[in-house]
Amino acid sequence: MKTVVSVSKVIPWIISPIVLQALFKTRGGYYYRTVVSMLCLSVSACYGVIASIILPIFGKRHLINWTVSRVYKTIFSSMLGITCTIEGKEHIRKDGGQAIYICNHQSILDIFFMANVFPKSTSVVAKKSIKFVPVLGWFMYLSKAVFLDRTNRETAVKNARKAAADMKKNKTSIWVYPEGTRANTPELNLLPFKKGAFYMAAQANVPIIPIVVQNYNHLYDQKSKRFGHGNIKIKGRLSISVLLLSS
C-alpha cells in the first residue's frame, strides 16, 4: 500500500512538467528551449537503444531508425512548437526501393527535420566522433549507422565501399549530409559536397534522391541565440540517375 501511495505522489511531479511544456511550447528563451530539445533527443535515443535490441528479435531491424524518427518527431514538435510542411512526398520511396538520400545541413535541428521524412529501411551516415557520444552514439552504433572518419581519406573510402556493399546485401537505403558540416546562415547557400554519397550511389548502383529543407535561420541561430517556433517546408526532389553520375 505504501508503494502505491508513494508512486501516486511521484507521478504528478513527472506529468506536470510535460503537460506545462506542451501547453507553453511556444514560450521560453534560447537556453531553455535548447535544454528541452536535448531532453527530447535523449529520450528518443534511449528509446532507440531499446528498439535496437528488441526489434531485431522480431525480424524488424529495418524499422529501428524509422520508429525512432517518428518518436522524436512527435516529442520534439509537441514540446517546441515546430512543424513541417512536406512537398514532393512522391519522390521519397515507400516501396522499399533503395536510394541514397542527400539533404542540406544547417544545424543540429536537422535531426528533427530528417525525422519528418525519414524512410523505412534506411541508415544514416555520421562522423566517427558521434559514435562516442553517450546514449546517442550507442543507439547509432546498434542501429548500424555508417561512421566515416573524414580526417582519413583511405578509411573513409573503405567505409563507404563497405556501406555500398551492405546496401546491396541488406536492401537498405542511406541518408547523407553531403556538405559534411553545418551551414546555418541567413543566405541560401550550400557548401561544396563531399564525394562519399556519390561514390556509394555509383558502387551500389542506386539513385540519389535530394531532400531540401527550407532555410530556417530566422527560427534557429546558435550565434545570435535565437530559438523560435513555426513551420518549415521540406521538399523531396526528382532522383538523380547513377548513369548520369558515371558519365
The whole-chain average pLDDT of the chain stands at 83
pLDDT mean over 146-156? 73
Separation CA 41–CA 76 (nearest Å): 8
Residue 230 has which C-alpha cell? 513555426
Using one digit for the tens of pLDDT, what is the confidence trace for 81-118?
Answer: 999 999 988 888 766 678 999 999 999 999 999 999 99
Q: How many CB atoms lie within 10 A of CB 13?
A: 8
Residue type (1 letter), 120 = K
Q: Which of 163, 166, 177 is nearest to 109 (CA)?
A: 177
- Predicted local distance difference test score (pLDDT) of residue 13: 60
Domains and CATH numbers, the chain: 8-244 (3.40.1130)
Percent of the chain, pLDDT > 90? 39
- Predicted local distance difference test score (pLDDT) of residue 55: 93
Using one digit for the tens of pLDDT, what is the confidence trace for 51-80?
Answer: 999 999 998 988 999 999 999 999 999 999
Using one digit for the tens of pLDDT, what is the confidence trace for 208-236?
Answer: 999 999 999 999 999 999 999 999 999 98
